[in-house]
Amino acid sequence: MPSLHVKKGDRVMVIAGGDRGRTGRVLRVFPKEQRALVEGIRVVKKHRRPDRARGIRGGIVPIEAPIHVSNLMVVCPECSRPTRVGHRRLEDGTKVRVCKRCTGVLDREWTK
């Protein structure tokens, strides 16, 4: 399974396609397909059939569709700019993702 530069919870910016320039949070990642589900990005209309047993109303509902990760750039929480992702080992030996612009740590566990 390939490793990706985006993870669930990352703030990303779209760099290509119809939603270019927009930002959102990664809701889910599909590593095998190299795609990610981003909140508010690539919203499509889905026709839903009503299901009374589950209490689902029918109609046309907007949902997010997966977008290819090559069209996404991670937004650094420290410098608030889209950046490429690098890797670095900390003193305790853990490997973390770092911002290539400001060398700030991107992984949420270490930015607290």
3-state secondary structure of 13: strand
pTM of the model: 0.85
Residue 112 has pLDDT above 70, yes or no: no
Distance CA 103, CA 79 (A): 10
Q: Domain coordinates of the chain in residue numbers?
A: 1-75, 83-112
Is-contact 24 15, C-beta < 8 A? no
- How does DSSP classify residue 109? G
DSSP state of 11: E
Task: Tell me the pLDDT of the chain averaged across its residues.
Answer: 92
Q: What DSSP letter does each residue of 14-81 carry, written as one string?
A: E-SSTTTT-EEEEEEEETTTTEEEETTSSEEEEEE--BTTTTBPPEEEEEE--EEGGGEEEEPTTT-S
Options 3.40.50.1700, 2.30.30.30, 2.60.40.10, 3.40.800.10; CATH for 1-75 is: 2.30.30.30
Whether the per-residue pLDDT at 111 is higher than 70: the answer is: no
CB neighbour list of residue 46: distance below 8 Å, 6 or more residues apart? 60, 61, 62, 63
Residues 84, 73: Cα–Cα separation, whole Å: 7
Residue-wise pLDDT for 22-73, tens only, equals: 999 999 999 999 999 999 999 999 999 999 999 989 999 999 999 999 999 9
d(CA 17, CA 94): 35
